[in-house]
Structure 1
Amino acid sequence: MTSNVPGPAPRSSEELLAALDDDQRAVALSLTGPLCVLAGAGTGKTRAITYRIAHGVRTGAYAAPTVLAVTFTARAAGEMRSRLRDLGIPGVQARTFHAAALRQLSYFWPSAIGGGVPRIQEHKAGLVAEAGGRLGLGVDRVAVRDLAAEIEWAKVSLVTAEEYTTRATKEGREGAAGYDLSTVARLLSVYEDVKSERGVIDFEDVLLLMVGILSERDDVAAEVRRQYRHFVVDEYQDVSPLQQRLLDLWLGDRREICVVGDVSQTIYSFTGATPAFLTDFPSRYRDARVVRLVRDYRSTPQVVSLANQVLAKAGRHRSSAAVELVAQRPSGPAARFEAFDDDVAEARGIAARIAALEADGVPRSEIAVLYRTNGQAEALEQALAEAGIGYLVRGGERFFSRREVREAVALLRGAVRSAGDAPMPEVVRDVLAAAGWAPEAPTARGAVRERWESLQSLVALADQLAATRQADMAGLIAELEERAAAQHAPTVEGVTLASLHAAKGLEWDAVFLAGVSEGLLPISLAEGEDAIAEERRLLYVGITRAREHLMISYGRARTVGGRAGRKPSRFLDGIWPREGAAARPRRDRARERALLAEDSPADAELFERLRTWREQVATATGKPAYTVLHDTTLTAIATARPKELRQLGVLRGIGAAKLEAYGPQVLAVIRGEDVVVEAPAD
């Protein structure tokens, strides 16, 4: 869809090129022939390729409608189109592989196949369950999920049911959901039968069908190639064999292609993505120009140094195509390394640190907490809720699906005709005031605050469009419609919680990497050197999301009072400090006392006396302090102030053994008596 948002005055090619560094300018000036851009994290790759397209259009080397820029997310495609419009270059097609293929499939299907395009089945679960049932397999929800993922891998890897057993063996795959390779192969075949009987296709079929049409119909291939003459492929390290096959058919025998990627951010191998197409590009195109973008404009030298160290320790698993980043920003704070007693303590420690950053002026929307598995989010959500810190779970309800957003957009659409000559931001404020927006944020938390934040993000977007594009109400509505289609949500004020995979392509001022321990990163399921190497790259991706503040942490135990057997991730060997955080959890006692005084009914003075006693016991017995009594148990004691052993024994974290060993001493501390702790006799 073409936006009718008025663009700024066109920039000259000289102005465009002057805004780039030397390496980015080399990209922008390479307008013809094969070009491979090896772009490190934060090096401005999107800027380089959008300016390259703009420069090509401005000089007449390209006609905007003949350029197809392929991205891996609808959000990235929307952002690229928005940037090009800001440069005064509308009309360039920026789409995902699937969106571009579906557009072509819908256009050519009536003439190439006949009739209408079959309905796309958005979710495979029902189809997989039925196929499993026909084979007599007992498939539960988890098994269906794993089998669906294996089907997707086979299809994007161009592996048929007949070839599956041989190819999967070669790739070191072990089937899925506990079923062997031959069973999965049979399931693949039956799955296709179920689809055919229902008259539906899946998302992978969109690409497969377009590949088939382009391969068999020379006239269709010729028409596509007349339309698109210049190709740009972003995140090329994540291309699958199926996507590469489609790209080859789009190109034909032409060589007008620019690929951009970073082998160090290859984190989707399990889905069939492979960096081989990126690393082999200069071999496939002997005269290809290769440009490296190494200047990191995103992160401080401290963050960049840590990222480089993590990659450097990859040894022989580090690709020669990997980029070593060179920091361009001024120096910032050192990365923090924190060890906590358990996951609950870690989550609370992160929440406390977020509160401190917010007090120092870092907006919540510029803070993210990243983790390896979605199961880690629960403790973090609870800790943030307890601290009164708003958050958003990336991958949760989509912004444009929220009720208040849908209602607000409807109201704004209705105001287009009646807006007159009034400034667009003023009209937006008047309209949204009727929907509950106010200039000042509400003091209430929860749903009331979340609703206001959604509406406020629309107000902020209106201000931005008015400033950058002089947009009117019609332009705002067009932008909102395009963003809704691409799920390119405006910024919402709240801490982001996301998995490391979901965080790729994003960045924040402050990033917390939670659970960076053996068993979580690398995850215990990662087997073999290649899988471990990919887990290292996940950590690299997480680190490079941070612009300035970075904290890496883990909990020694999973549960409160659990066995403290965890260790820092092997990827941080030689990096994690030997003293301080690695030896024992760091304590900001002044902050903890303040938190106790403000947010808890616990007696802060008693809490400190109990902790002093616990340290004496730990020293005398040679045990870590947290194995005596956990902080949460000390807080419970300082809150309840039990007077008898019976009352003490019912508190969380006090079992029979601890009651017998420490009960009398704890009661004495509560009474304010001096307690003499002696080392146990030999």
Structure 2
Amino acid sequence: MKKESHDDIFSDNRPLGESPVSRKALNEAQYAAATHDNGPILVIAGAGSGKTRTLVYRMAHLIEQGIPPESIMLLTFTRRAAQEMLYRATQLTDQSCRRVIGGTFHATANMLLRQYGEYLGFPPGFTIIDRGDAEGIINLMKSSLGLTGKGKRFPSKRIIMNLISGAVNKSRSLEDLVFENHLHLSEFVNDFHSIRDHYNQFKLDHGLMDYDDLLINWQRLLAESEEAGALISNRFQYILVDEYQDTNLIQAEIVRLLARDHDNVMVVGDDAQSIYSFRGADFYNIMRFPDQFPGTQVIKLEQNYRSTQPILSLTNSIIDQAEEKFTKSLFTEEKGGKRPEVFSGATEAAEARFVVDTIAKLVENGTPNTEIAVLFRSGFHSYKLEMELGSRGLDFEKRG
């Protein structure tokens, strides 16, 4: 008998008249989050615990309770995630879910700035520039300021753009970033300031915004224009945010301002999965949420639907070592599962040899290459492994 997947919500076999958001469809913690009444709620969602499902059912519940779909805002970090959630919500209720305003922070900022940006003097027809365009303008500013003749040591447009964007996303000064990460460029700090100031003025003069401007100006719109801020906050009565641990300080402030008049905000995330600090993500946003929104209800999704208990037990022991965390214990109702083995190599080469030795034994014992996977954090981490596999004549396919 085929076991039904926890995420199989596309076939609707419930009796006529039964609510799609029922206790049979969700576990206890998911149901509590999805059917939460009003006020702030923080959902700590461990890996594989059904956070997407919970957000989908939350939208369905709100609409079932008579909340106009267009008064619900769903903020995600990828367009695909927003589209998937909205599609799945329509499978639970009806096509009205398509009227939910769902998208990335940047896409939503673009929409609202075109509708309300005139409150800050922005024309609705502004043009968004990509990274390549932005770097081209940086080069133009370097030339106009006479900085191109400073010799080969003067940093490239890419480095300058990284510094300008990093200062925005990390809410830090240019000086801080230069002295922390590029001390050898400290003599150019004043030049960086001049380039940034002229870059910003050029965009303003020509009706341009880069991706960072979308967030900055959305935050400004909510904070500096009392009328626009009230209109937007009143328009969106329920705010849902996915992957909150990956927000930067500007995004967290946007969420706070959006919900300032009603506090109907649900953020979902996992403090143990914050890995984008290099992009400006601030782990403390999720830790500070209950303080920023007094009366926050914290719900933990701890039941895992992807893994086995031995793997989860190892994961729990690692998470427990964190000094600052929301305490949780992942578990599964699935039985069995092999205990994980831990190998610590003295060098990357030793680690690669151990992995390839293990693969070679599996292949020798009849396991097809296509049933063996090696996971790594970033593409460049696979170099030693690829060399070892090649030297042993083991075919492989690299993805990502």
For Structure 1 versus Structure 2, the TM-score category normalised by the shorter chain is 0.7 to 0.9
Aligned partner of 1:262 in structure 2 is 270
Q: Percent identity?
A: 26
2:163 corresponds, among 147, 150, 168, to 150
Aligned partner of 2:4 in structure 1 is none
Aligned partner of 1:292 in structure 2 is 300
For residues 186-265 of structure 1, what are the structure 2 equivalents within 5 Å? 186-197=191-202, 199=206, 200-265=208-273
Is 2:36 the partner of 1:30?
yes
1:95 corresponds, among 100, 103, 125, to 103
- Structure 1 stretches of 5 or more lacking a match? 1-6, 394-682
Cα distance in 2 for partners of 1:192, 1:40 equals 43
- Report if the CA contact (8 A) 1:39-1:261 is conserved: yes
Aligned partner of 1:120 in structure 2 is 129
What is the identity, as a one-letter code, of the residue corresponding to 2:188? Answer: T
What is the identity, as a one-letter code, of the residue corresponding to 1:232? Answer: L
Deviation per residue, 1:439-474 (Å, 9 max, x gap): xxxxxxxxxxxxxxxxxxxxxxxxxxxxxxxxxxxx
2:250 match: secondary structure: helix
Give the superposition deviation at 1:292: 1.5
Q: Output the aligned Cα RMSD.
A: 3.5
Cα distance in 1 for partners of 2:219, 2:364 equals 54
TM-score with structure 1 setting the length: 0.48
2:103 match: secondary structure: strand
Cα distance in 2 for partners of 1:144, 1:114 equals 28
Give the superposition deviation at 1:191: 2.6
Give the superposition deviation at 1:361: 9.9
For residues 218-367 of structure 1, what are the structure 2 equivalents within 5 Å? 218-314=226-322, 318-338=323-343, 339=345, 341-342=349-350, 345=353, 348-349=356-357, 352=360, 359=367, 367=373
Which deviates further from its counterpart, 124-133 or 148-157? Answer: 124-133
What is the identity, as a one-letter code, of the residue corresponding to 1:117? Answer: F
CA 1:288/1:343 → structure 2, altered by over 3 Å: closer, same or farther?
A: closer
What is the identity, as a one-letter code, of the residue corresponding to 2:23? Answer: L
What is the identity, as a one-letter code, of the residue corresponding to 1:245? Answer: E
For residues 38-57 of structure 1, what are the structure 2 equivalents within 5 Å? 38-57=44-63
1:43 match: secondary structure: coil
- Report if the CA contact (8 A) 2:40-2:266 is conserved: yes
Aligned partner of 2:73 in structure 1 is 68
CA 1:301/1:249 → structure 2, altered by over 3 Å: closer, same or farther?
A: same
* Paired positions, count: 372
What is the identity, as a one-letter code, of the residue corresponding to 1:282? Answer: P
Structure with larger Rg: 1
CA 1:190/1:147 → structure 2, altered by over 3 Å: closer, same or farther?
A: closer
Aligned partner of 2:5 in structure 1 is none
Give the superposition deviation at 1:187: 0.9
Deviation per residue, 1:141-173 (Å, 9 max, x gap): 9965454333222112444xxx543xx38xx96
Cα distance in 2 for partners of 1:345, 1:228 equals 55
What is the identity, as a one-letter code, of the residue corresponding to 1:327? Answer: T
CA 1:219/1:312 → structure 2, altered by over 3 Å: closer, same or farther?
A: closer
Give the superposition deviation at 1:268: 1.9
Aligned partner of 1:672 in structure 2 is none
- Report if the CA contact (8 A) 1:24-1:293 is conserved: yes
CA 1:113/1:299 → structure 2, altered by over 3 Å: closer, same or farther?
A: same
Is 2:365 the partner of 1:392?
no
- Report if the CA contact (8 A) 2:74-2:101 is conserved: yes
2:216 match: secondary structure: helix
CA 1:97/1:107 → structure 2, altered by over 3 Å: closer, same or farther?
A: same
Aligned partner of 1:78 in structure 2 is 83
**Relative CO higher for 1 or 2, CA cutoff 8 Å, sep ≥ 6?**
2
CA 1:173/1:321 → structure 2, altered by over 3 Å: closer, same or farther?
A: farther
2:214 match: secondary structure: helix
Cα distance in 2 for partners of 1:176, 1:201 equals 27
CA 1:140/1:346 → structure 2, altered by over 3 Å: closer, same or farther?
A: farther
What is the identity, as a one-letter code, of the residue corresponding to 1:304? Answer: L
Give the superposition deviation at 1:104: 1.4
TM-score with structure 2 setting the length: 0.79
1:209 match: secondary structure: helix
1:281 match: secondary structure: helix
Give the superposition deviation at 1:247: 2.1
- Report if the CA contact (8 A) 1:72-1:97 is conserved: yes
Cα distance in 2 for partners of 1:88, 1:184 equals 55
Deviation per residue, 1:294-341 (Å, 9 max, x gap): 222222112112212222334xxx214243322333221222345585
- Report if the CA contact (8 A) 2:115-2:124 is conserved: no
- Report if the CA contact (8 A) 1:176-1:184 is conserved: no
Deviation per residue, 1:21-76 (Å, 9 max, x gap): 1111111121311111122222222222221221221232x222211111122232
What is the identity, as a one-letter code, of the residue corresponding to 2:80? Answer: R
Aligned partner of 1:541 in structure 2 is none
Cα distance in 2 for partners of 1:18, 1:276 equals 35
CA 1:378/1:320 → structure 2, altered by over 3 Å: closer, same or farther?
A: closer
- Report if the CA contact (8 A) 1:39-1:323 is conserved: no
2:22 match: secondary structure: helix
CA 1:272/1:361 → structure 2, altered by over 3 Å: closer, same or farther?
A: closer
CA 1:368/1:57 → structure 2, altered by over 3 Å: closer, same or farther?
A: farther
Cα distance in 2 for partners of 1:278, 1:247 equals 12
